[in-house]
Structure formats: C-alpha cells, structure tokens
C-alpha cells in the first residue's frame, strides 16, 4: 500500500513549487493505483487559525481540481487537536516532551549569546532543571508554558532518502523543537507526525527545505512507537534568472488560466523538472505514469521558467482527444472539426475562430477573381466527397498549370478568409458544398 499526502497551509494560493510537490505525490500514489494500493490524501495544515481561511482552503481544492489531482480523502488539522493533545501527553509521560517558561525575548537573548560565542543556537534545556515549585511560581507570575520535544542525543539519525540517498544527522546538533506555543496553538512538527501515523502515510515527498524537519520527526515517530514513512526530498525550484526567481512564489493556477495554459501542460513540465527524463507533451495525466519513479529526480536545483509553458501547452492541446476537449469547445463543433483544427491551436479558445470559418459567415478574400471564378466552376462540376480538396487541386493544376502557393493560396483565402490554418483537405469537406461555392462567388 502506497499512501501519500499533500499538506498545504490554507493561508493563500498554492504556487508552482507547491503544485510540483502535490503532483509528485499524486503520481507516486497513482503509479500504484492499478493494483488497488494507491491513495493520495489532501491534508489542510490549518493549525494557524488566525491566518488560515475557508477561502484559501477552497482555492487549494479548486486549483487541485483544475490540475486533475483529485485526492482520495481530505482532512483538516483544526479538526484533530484532540489527537495532538493525546500524543503530547504520551510523550510527556515518557519524558520526551517538557514544559518551558522562557519568554520570546529571553529565548532570543540566549540565541544571540550562543551565536556570539560561535556556538549553534541550540536550546540549553534550562527548563528541565525547573522544580514543581519553580513552575508554580512562574505560572503565578502569569507565564504560560510552551512545550518542546526532547531529542535523544544518544541516537544519531539516518535514513535512505528517495531522492538524496543516505542522510545522516548527529542528534546533538538538533535543538529540541517547540511543538506547542504558550497560547496553546500547535506548530508543524508534532501534528504532522501524528497525522501521518493516523492516516497511514507510507511515503512523504516534500521539498529539501524540510530535510532537517525530517530528522527531528523521525525521532518523533520512534517515540510514538510508529514505523516512519519513507522520505524523499525534492530539490527546490529556481528561476531562469534572478528576476524570475522572485516570481516563482506567485506563479500559479490563476496566472496560467489567464494565459490559456492547459493543466496537463503544467503537469507535463513540473513532473519532469529536475529529472533525467525529457519534458514532452502529453494528452492526459495518466500518460505521465509509465516509468514514473522518484529515483529519476536529481539533487540539483530544478529550473522553472513559466515561459516554457505556452509552447508546451499548445503541443499538449494538439494531442487532446475530442471527448476531453468537447465540454470546452464552441457549440456545434464536431469531432471531425476538432481533429481538423486542433493542430493549429495555441489556446483552446481559438477553436471558436475556426468553427466560425467552418460554419459561420466570413468575408472571403478574393485576390484573383478570374482564377477563383474558374475554381468555382470546376468545384461545381465535381462530385462532393471527403477527398474533394485533393480532386479540386488536381483538376485546377491540370487546367491552369499552376503549382504550389499560386495554386492553393488564392483558394484558401477565398474559402476561409485566412492566409494560414488547418489543412484544407480537412476543412473543405466540413465547410460543405453550398457554402464553399457561395464563398468562391465572392
């Protein structure tokens, strides 16, 4: 059983880096789905109640739906506080969690002193020396405790990372993390572990900025008596240049929809960034599953350039079948019409132009009246069929001696009003005999 999760905080829109993480987790779960053992969970990390919002949570759901990354389940951390409290009390009973009473200002002073002495800013565990009387006095002064997880300094931390390979952290180099603030609110570290245990998460795939968190959390899994999930840390995205790097945080679904970018193009690009595999257009998300594996990802930063999306989106659109495109096509466009025009589209909205050319009123461009009149007479004498364009061209070539552009360009302009576009062999049968003759009449 492979169970993955995407765990954004609903404090704003998700961006390219978040989406890449969601996509890789979705692909990892779906790569096992054929055997009935894949599961992808959306976990909304909304422990920060002041900054989290229902609007942001819904925006995340909508963005995932636009991308086609449908979760098999959704949970919210704000519904699970009782689980975290139980885990904290269990750890406290084991001596693996303890109350601390320093103020933020006192902790900052300790941090500065340590740095001034050339020491790492690791918490000194002064709270462990407090007696019950000390704690009672501090609480009488109005201080509320924050809680820390006590790291086991005797056990160094090792794991085999799905992307980075062997990872090693000396436990003594890691500070005891705060897991609950003095106001009772939860920080990321412990709730995430409790949820991963409760939800049966087997694989955690996230950015390499979480590597140190993973080292700490592996001890939390052990302290709670749980087998830890497999870990994989993706290299972070970088921009094409310094200016673009600043845009990575804001580039997301709202920008892509405004540009007419296809969701599958976003997936095709992000799924291959940082891997040894080439970025190629695909028709569906399922096309990304064959051969997907975490070990294709390298440790070097992955370059993300939003400018790459436009051309890739058009190439993905050219592969899209009619059933997928149909709900977004102009009224009346048939499968034959879609197959005729899709190879010339940059955005799916452009299909409306060609549907107008096929069925609507256009202004024919008549550049050589005598040639077009002869073409109309020739066309009127031919039996209509799917190969009508080929037979019309052959007949005009024989009767006029024309070749190449002088042969077909005046016909294209008269029949479509456009100098470029889909193959006329596909368009002319769709335009129809009566409409074609009317256009050639000028």
- Residues 64-73 pLDDT 10s: 999 999 999 9
- pLDDT one-digit tens code per residue, 206-222: 999 999 999 999 999 99
What pTM, to 2 d.p., does this model score?
Answer: 0.90
The pLDDT score that the predictor gives to residue 250 is: 58
Count CB neighbours of 37 within 10 A.
12
Q: How far apart are CA 95 and CA 104, in angstroms?
A: 24
Confidence bin at 415 (pLDDT 50/70/90): very high
Determine which helix (DSSP H) or strand (DSSP E) holds 166, and give its type and residue range: strand 165-169
Is the pLDDT at 17 greater than 50, yes or no? yes
Could you tell me if 87 and 194 are in contact, meaning their C-beta atoms sit under 8 angstroms apart?
yes
Q: How far apart are CA 187 and CA 178, in angstroms?
A: 7
Burial grade of 3 (CB within 10 A; 0-12, 13-18, 19 or more): buried
CATH class of the structural domain 242-323: mainly alpha
Which 3 state secondary structure label does DSSP give 15? coil
Cα angle for residues 7, 312, 264 (degrees, 5° grid) = 40
Q: Which fold has domain 369-440?
A: Arc Repressor Mutant, subunit A (1.10.10)
| Domain 2-76+187-236, classified CATH 3.40.50.620, yes or no | yes
Cα angle for residues 124, 129, 134 (degrees, 5° grid) = 120
Burial track 222-240 (b if 16+ CB lie within 10 A, e otherwise):
ebbeeebbbbbbbbebbbe
**Domain ranges within the chain, ordered by starting residue:** 2-76+187-236, 82-180, 242-323, 324-359, 369-440
Q: How many CA atoms lie within 13 A of 207 on its CB side?
A: 14
Confidence bin at 33 (pLDDT 50/70/90): low
The answer to which of 237-246, 258-267, 313-322 has the lowest mean pLDDT is 237-246
Count CB neighbours of 29 within 10 A.
26
Is the pLDDT at 245 greater than 50, yes or no? no
CATH class of the structural domain 82-180: alpha beta
């Amino acid at each position: 059983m492979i169970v993955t999760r995407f765990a954004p905080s609903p404090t704003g829109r998700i961006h390219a880096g978040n989406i890449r993480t969601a996509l890789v987790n979705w692909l990892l779960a779906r790569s096992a789905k054929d055997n009935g053992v894949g599961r992808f969970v959306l976990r909304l990390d909304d422990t920060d109640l002041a900054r989290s919002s229902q609007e942001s949570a819904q925006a995340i759901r909508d963005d995932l739906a636009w991308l086609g990354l449908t979760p098999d389940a959704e949970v919210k951390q704000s519904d699970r506080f009782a689980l975290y409290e139980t885990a904290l009390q269990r750890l406290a009973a084991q001596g693996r969690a303890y109350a601390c009473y320093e103020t933020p200002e006192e902790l900052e002073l300790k941090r500065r002193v340590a740095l001034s002495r050339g020491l790492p800013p690791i918490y000194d565990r002064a709270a462990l020396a407090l007696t019950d009387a000390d704690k009672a006095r501090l609480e009488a002064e109005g201080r509320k405790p924050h809680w820390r997880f006590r790291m086991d300094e005797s056990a160094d931390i090792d794991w085999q990372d799905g992307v980075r390979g062997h990872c090693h952290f000396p436990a003594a180099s890691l500070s005891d993390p705060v897991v609950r603030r003095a106001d009772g609110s939860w920080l990321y570290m412990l709730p995430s572990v409790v949820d991963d245990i409760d939800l049966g998460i087997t694989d955690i795939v996230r950015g390499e900025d979480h590597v140190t968190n993973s080292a700490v959390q592996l001890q939390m899994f052990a302290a709670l008596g749980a087998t830890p999930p497999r870990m994989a840390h993706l290299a972070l995205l970088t921009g094409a240049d310094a200016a673009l790097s600043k845009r990575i945080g804001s580039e997301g679904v709202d920008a892509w929809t405004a540009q007419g970018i296809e969701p599958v193009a976003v997936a095709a690009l992000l799924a291959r960034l940082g891997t040894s595999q080439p970025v190629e257009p695909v028709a569906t998300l399922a096309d990304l599953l064959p051969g997907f594996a975490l070990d294709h990802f390298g440790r070097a930063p992955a370059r993300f350039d939003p400018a790459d999306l436009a051309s890739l989106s058009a190439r993905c659109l050219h592969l899209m079948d009619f059933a997928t495109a149909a709900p977004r096509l102009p009224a009346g466009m048939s499968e034959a019409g879609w197959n005729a025009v899709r190879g010339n589209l940059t955005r799916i909205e452009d299909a409306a132009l060609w549907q107008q050319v096929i069925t609507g009123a256009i202004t024919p461009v008549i550049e050589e009246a005598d040639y077009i009149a002869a073409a109309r007479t020739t066309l009127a004498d031919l039996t209509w069929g799917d190969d009508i364009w080929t037979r019309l061209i052959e007949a005009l070539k024989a009767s006029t001696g024309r070749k190449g552009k002088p042969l077909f360009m005046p016909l294209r302009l008269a029949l479509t009003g456009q100098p470029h576009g889909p193959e006329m062999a596909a368009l002319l049968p769709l335009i129809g005999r009566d409409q074609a003759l009317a256009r050639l009449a000028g």
